[in-house]
Each structure stands twice: as structure tokens, then as C-alpha cells.
A and B are shown apart, each in its own frame.
Chain A
């Protein structure tokens, strides 16, 4: 082994070791979708996805089967099992918890929290009616209020405050046993709020597993638990993708190994072909982790896909190292290096531009691919040759078994014209596609099974939960400001409800009024002396014992002295749990945001029109359409990626010109890449496919593949044997890619199918374009 090879091997091993160490010590794969966005909360303060808002933290549970009593009991048992479980911020089944320790805080502060409190509330006439009703309660077998509370709370404000607190949690019908049920009472319903963000999929998956485990422990064989909600959908689709990816990857690896074993007739090329790719993935993951502090799951998945190019380099090497008349493998590697380096260099250039973007996900993807490609190319050049057993190194590999049509080696000139005509036609198809079939919905990224989406919709509507799509966002420098701004919106929201544009709304100030409003309620409370006088007058002749309402007078007097509650100083408990999802400090700077959640939006257009008039309020209030916000994000991402791709191809043109110093060859290469891409896109459009981010990622891969094919095909080769060997080499590469992505195209998941189909088309067209645009053999004199 030459000393240079030994040095290369040592360097390679050290690099792998360092990469493994980095990943072992600092490796962290982030899976939330937000990390892929430019900023977790964009400049306008709108989180990326519906799953990121308060709705994302909500899981909807339904218990089916058995009889109504069994379902109600199971519902209660589930609450008991989960209410103190880690990760659970709250679980509700419609039954108020009588023992909640924080209930006392609500009762104590009822005169500051209740929307019914104003000066009129304590007018003698009103008091008279209330006390009359309470006197009825004392004689009735159906008291309107719990008798126990009458001395303290004869006007029933505790109930009002509790109702207000619960109104955001759901308004489902109550069935036998007092638990929430759906409309035909066939299911018991529960709502579970998580501490974790909706898009923190690992935490959500854990919570869902814990919920299912708690249900299983209840051992009720004829009952079933169904779970819905954005997090459930995201977790489930992630699991489906994982399963599918695992079997497709296994099947593809097997098929690829078989193909390579058949073509190369020798086992060594099969496993050695994986070495550059694996090294590239390992080092790239480590580099991205070092630069960004973490590795995004999506960047990793896409990155590995795009790194499929790296498989071509060893295949070129082995295809050129066959008997007879093979040079020593080191010699072959040296001869091929300019072509490999040129192909890899162009690919790296494209991804370098992509790495320099504000989109953290895209930057990670760019850095991942460029590092991986560079490592794979270097490993192919310097590490693979010494890894090959000495005998093969000297004698070369057995001849390839790969029958190819003769026409491919020497394409007829008419074929080129045909290709040119096709490319023009394809350009026409792309140019006339109006509107261009982009898929902008972020939801298209999640393969949501129909029945999951339907269950989510059904339960959400049965529970009267807020719409996941529409919401208002109120900004404030302080929580107090945000609460006051929310309160100021109430009359307009009432008008919207009256106009049947929406069914209801729920906001933070309904849970905890601003301190200003609490103070104005305090001002409306009568003094102890006045109140006592009015109570005595109102109670006269009703048969109450003297001083029966002293607790009431004392409570009102205490309320007059209370320090208003503030969000920052709320103790743990019901009130704080209900407020937390609706009022939060901004994630991206100073200031606070308060949510106004909208229920049953009937007329989104009217809502949007009304929202436009809100801009007058100095941007304090903002209307959020989560679908549109996420679509905007997809569009931004796409535009950025397309721009980078165009810039990249321009830079590649310059690079080719500089390196090859042959304008003709550069033009051939670029023309092949362009033709391959244009034909692929046009075919997708003709097939009626909407182009999503996944197609774009696939197109990026195709660009790299086509660059590789075109660089090899355009090599100025003197003799026919070399040209044939070159053709075989590229054919092996194209075939192996076809095998892998052909299997992906068979996937049932739209996402994987999109990538598979696109790459299959791209490989076929790129190969044909590159082959047809290859220079003709040297003129025979």
C-alpha cells in the first residue's frame, strides 16, 4: 500500500471517529416543524402552523363501545389517572372537580372576576329578587344554587366565574353520569391539554402513549379509546412515514445490492459502494450539528435522500476498473478524478448557495449535502482504492454484465433534434401552466389519513372547541396591556357573533380581566354598611335569620380591599392553567401576546374583511389565518429555494467554463441539466401533479444527478471502448438510482410517492438528455 493511501485511510478513520464522537456527545435531532422555519415565531408574531398555537396543545379523547354508564365511569377513571400525570396541564371530562384546592381562589376573587359585577348588581331591587330566589332554594328539592354557598354568595357569582372559566374548554352536551358526550351520546368525550408545545412531537408522542397506557390499565375490554387533535395527527403521520421509510429503505437496499451483485459479478463492489455514502452522511451530520448546535430531522431525511448522488462516485470507479485492460485501481481513480471532482464541485456549489440562507432548515440541508458530497467524492478518490482487496486492485474487476442497446453508444443525430423538440414542448407546457400547480398547503406535508381528519372535525365540533384555523392575536408591551386590548375587542366580537359570522369567542381577559377592569369592579362594590342595610331591607319578611347574610357582606368588603390579580403572580391552579395557553410572553422579544380563539367561524371572508379594519388599531390586534400563514411560509421557502437553484446553476456555468476551459463542453453539460429538469417538471404537470416542497427537493437531487451524468458523458474520450465503458458506468449509476426511487414511488404516502416519481422521471430524462448531448466520437480521418 503506497504511503499516501495509508495516510488517506488514517485521515478517513480519524474523521469518522471525530464525527461519531461529535454526534455521540452533542448530537440532537430536532423534529419540530418550527425549527425548519426562518424563525420559530415569524417577524409578524405568527407561529408557523396551527399546531403551534394553543389548539396544538389540545388532544381530544373519545371513549366508544360498552354502555353509557361504562363509558362515563371510564371517562372519570381516565381523568383520575391522568390529572396528575407528567406532561398533562389539564384533563377535563365535563365534570367539575369539587375538591380542586384552587377553587377557593376563584370564590374569593369572584367579585373581581365575574363579568356580571357592576353598580347595578347591588341595587336594592336586584338584591330583592336574588334573596327571594334563595329563599325558594331553601325550601326546594331542586335548588338553583348549592345551599351551602347561599350565605356567602346569594347572587350566584361563583357559578358565573366557573362557567366563564370552563367556556373555552368545551361546550359538549352532558350525558348520563354528568360527563361530556357527543351528539348521539354514543361516545364519552374528554379534552386533554399538554404542557409541551403541539409540535414537540416527541413529548406529544410520549403523552399519547401514556394516555393509551392509562386506558389499557383500566382493563375495560369492550371500550375503545380514540384520540384526535393536531398533535395526534402529526405523531401518527410521523410514525407512518417512519414505518414506510424503514421498509422501503430495506427493500431498496436489498434490491440495490442484488443489482450491483448482478452487474459487477463480485461481492466487494457491493459493500464498498456504500462506504462513501455512509462516510458522507456521518461527517455531514456531525458538521451540521457543530455549526447549528443541533440537526433538524427534516434536514437529515431530505439530506440523506439528496446524498443519493454520492452513490454514483464509487459506481463510476468500479465500472471503470474492469478486466480486461484495466489499469491499477489507483490509476483508474486518478483518471476519473477530474470528472468526479467536476460533478461533485458543481453540486457543492449549488448547495453552498443554499446553505447561505435565512431558512435554518434549508441552510442545514445545504450544508449537509455539500459536506456529504465532498466527503463521498474524497473517499471515492483516496479511500476506496486501498480498501479493495489487493488481487482485485491489481487485476481489476470482472467485466460488467450490462447489456445496453447499441443505439445509446452512438445516438442518431435525429434523436438530438427529437430531444430539442421535446424540450421546447416541455418549456411550452411549463410556460402555459396557469396558475402554476404549486401545492402551498403545509398540511400537504402531513399525510393525514382521512378518518383521522374526520374524527378530529367531529370531536372538535361536538366539544364546541375553538376553530383551529382562525384566531386573533393581541399584542401588548405588558400582560395588562394585552388584556385591556382583548377587553376592548369584546363589543366587536359580540357584533360578529350577532351577525352570525362566528358562533363564539374565548379570550384571556375572560379568564383573568385586566387589573383596570378588576379595579373598576371594585369601585362598583358597596361599602359594608350600605350593603348590610340593603340586604336587611331585601330580606325582610322572607324568614331569614338575622345576620344570615353577614358572610356575604364580609366577602364583598374583603373584595373591596383585595389587590387585583395579575397574570405574573397567579398561584398554581385552575385559573393559571386556563390562562397560560391564552396569554404568553412573546418568544421573539419583549412584549406579550394574548389569543382570541374563535369558535364556529361561519363566514371566513366576512371575518377577514372585518380583520382588515383592525389595522387601524395601531397593529395591536392581528387576524391569523393559520392555513394562510403556513402557506405563506411554504411559498417563501419555495421562492428562496428556486432563487438559490437558479443562482447555483449560473455559478455552476461559470465554474464549468473556468475548469474545463471548453465553452462547448460547458454548454453541453448545462443543456443536459436544463433539458432533464424541464422535461421532468413538464411531465409532472401533464400528470396533473401539484408541486410541493417534496418535488422541489427531488428536483435538487435531479440537478446533482444530471450534472454528474452530463459531466461523464461529455468527457472527451478518444476510443470506442472507453466511450462504451463510460456509457456503462453512467448506466449503472442511473439504474441503481432508478431501483431505489422506483420503490419509493410505490409508497402509499403521498410525500414519498412524490419524491420517488419525480426522481424516477428525472433520472430517465437526465440520462437521455446527457447521453444524447454527448459529443460524437472523434472524426475519423
Chain B
């Protein structure tokens, strides 16, 4: 166990977040499953989430309709089928909140997390679940809730359910031994 000695007994959220923070580059591999009432079949693809301190995060999904989304500072770059587009996150607060979630988790920015979401924790450091509710009214209407779970400083799964029935699940693979 590596609990900070000074952590107050009730700050278990702080403990969980502290164990997730990385101060050197890290890459997570995940499998993404998306389902939507509009789709004939749910689709499953693999991808990577690469974090470079302090604030650069790249999310790449492979396969058909694959895309690379990179955020750095307040700029989001979307690459898809060889063309790329830049988006100013200041102008898209909902997008900033959603794409910024993993960045805040990995660089330990608890303040941003807590201003963007109401966070409810269940479980303990060995097996935890965070229910994230967006504080922004417009975003909450679109994405009522996100459920993030993990264990011992590792992310396990993010489930996002959108209004209109879109459902997505990111399942993280355990880190490679070399990491």
C-alpha cells in the first residue's frame, strides 16, 4: 500500500485520484464498444490513450472509422481519414469536459475534475467506482452520467450513456509488464 500518510480518513476519492496520476508518459490500451439505436450492429474497436505530462493526451481508435483525437492546452485536433481539423476547446465546453476527463485523471487535476463533475465514489482503493455527473446543464442533458471504475491505481472501465440511447464502453487492458 502506498497511501499518503497525511490523507484524512474520509478523503478516499483523493486517495484514488492520487494513485491514478502519472508524472511521466503513459500509454493505456483499451477496447471500445459503441452501440446506438440507429445502428444495425454494435461496433467494437481497439485503441490507445497516450498521456504526456503535463497536458497532452492522444486518443487513437483503430479500424474502420478510426480517428485520432489529441488535446493539448485548449486545442483539440481531430484526424480522420487523412484530414485534420482543429477545435478551440474554449468554444466547446461540453467537448472540453468530456475529452478532458482522462487528462485530468492522469495529471492529477482534481480541481478541474470536481468543477466539471459531481463525483460519487463507492468501493475502496482496491476496487472503486466513480459516478460522474456533469455539472453543466447543457452537457448533463446530453450525457446524464459517466461511470468509471478501477482498482489499485489502474483504470478498468468507462461507461457512458447518452440521451437518445447512445451507449459506449471503454475497457482498459491491464498494463504491460514492461510499463
Contacts and interface: CB of A to CB of B under 8 A. Distances in A.
Interface of A: 69, 95-99, 135-136, 138-142, 146-151, 173-178, 543-546, 548
Interface in B60-108: 61, 65, 67, 69, 74, 76, 78, 80, 87-88, 90-95, 98-99
B34 A138 contact: yes
30 contacts: A69-B115, A95-B138, A98-B142, A135-B65, A138-B34, A138-B36, A138-B38, A138-B39, A139-B43, A139-B67, A141-B59, A142-B67, A142-B69, A142-B78, A142-B87, A142-B95, A146-B142, A146-B164, A147-B162, A147-B166, A148-B164, A148-B166, A150-B164, A174-B91, A174-B93, A176-B93, A178-B90, A178-B91, A545-B38, A548-B37
A147 B36 contact: yes
A136 B83 CA distance: 14
A50 B99 CA distance: 45
Contacts of A174: 88, 90-91, 93
B38 A98 contact: no
A98 B138 contact: yes
B40 A142 contact: no
Contacts of A177: 93
Contacts of B41: 543
Contacts of B37: 151, 545, 548
Nearest to A136: B65
A196 B13 CA distance: 51
Interface in B99-143: 99, 115, 136-138, 141-142
A97 B69 CA distance: 28
B137 A141 contact: no
B166 A545 contact: no
A769 B14 CA distance: 90
A400 B94 CA distance: 83
Contacts of B26: none
B98 A98 contact: no
B93 A151 contact: no
A151 B166 CA distance: 12
A173 B164 contact: no
- Interface size on B, as a range, is 35 or more
Contacts of B40: 543-546
A229 to B, nearest CB: 25
Interface in B29-62: 34, 36-41, 43, 45, 59, 61
B3 interface: no
A649 to B, nearest CB: 67
Nearest to A152: B164
Contacts of A543: 39-41, 43
B179 to A, nearest CB: 24
B77 to A, nearest CB: 10
Contacts of A150: 38, 164
A142 B43 contact: no
**A-B pairs with lowest CB-CB distance, top 8:** A178-B93, A148-B164, A98-B138, A139-B65, A174-B91, A548-B38, A98-B141, A545-B40
Contacts of B99: 141-142
Nearest to A68: B90
B90 A138 contact: no
Point out which of A146, A151, A178, A545 has the most chain B C-beta atoms below 10 A from its C-beta: A178
A98 B137 contact: yes
Contacts of B38: 138, 150-151, 544-545, 548
Contacts of A97: 138
Contacts of B45: 139
Contact of B166 (A69, A138, A544, A546): A138
A426 B167 CA distance: 89
Contact of A178 (B69, B136, B142): B136
Contacts of A544: 38-40
Interface string B158-172: 000011101000000
A146 B78 CA distance: 17
Nearest to A96: B138
Contacts of B137: 98-99
Contact of B162 (A140, A148, A173): A148
Nearest to B137: A98
B142 A148 contact: yes
A548 B138 CA distance: 25
Given A142-B76, A142-B87, A150-B38, 5 more contacts: A139-B43, A147-B166, A148-B162, A148-B164, A548-B37
Contacts of B36: 138, 147
Given A69-B115, A141-B59, A147 B164 contact: yes
Contacts of B43: 139, 543
A135 B39 CA distance: 9
B34 A136 contact: no
A96 B95 CA distance: 15
Contacts of A176: 74, 90, 93
A138 B67 CA distance: 12
Nearest to A149: B164
A177 B74 CA distance: 12
A173 B91 CA distance: 7
Interface string B136-152: 11100110000000000
A142 B67 CA distance: 9
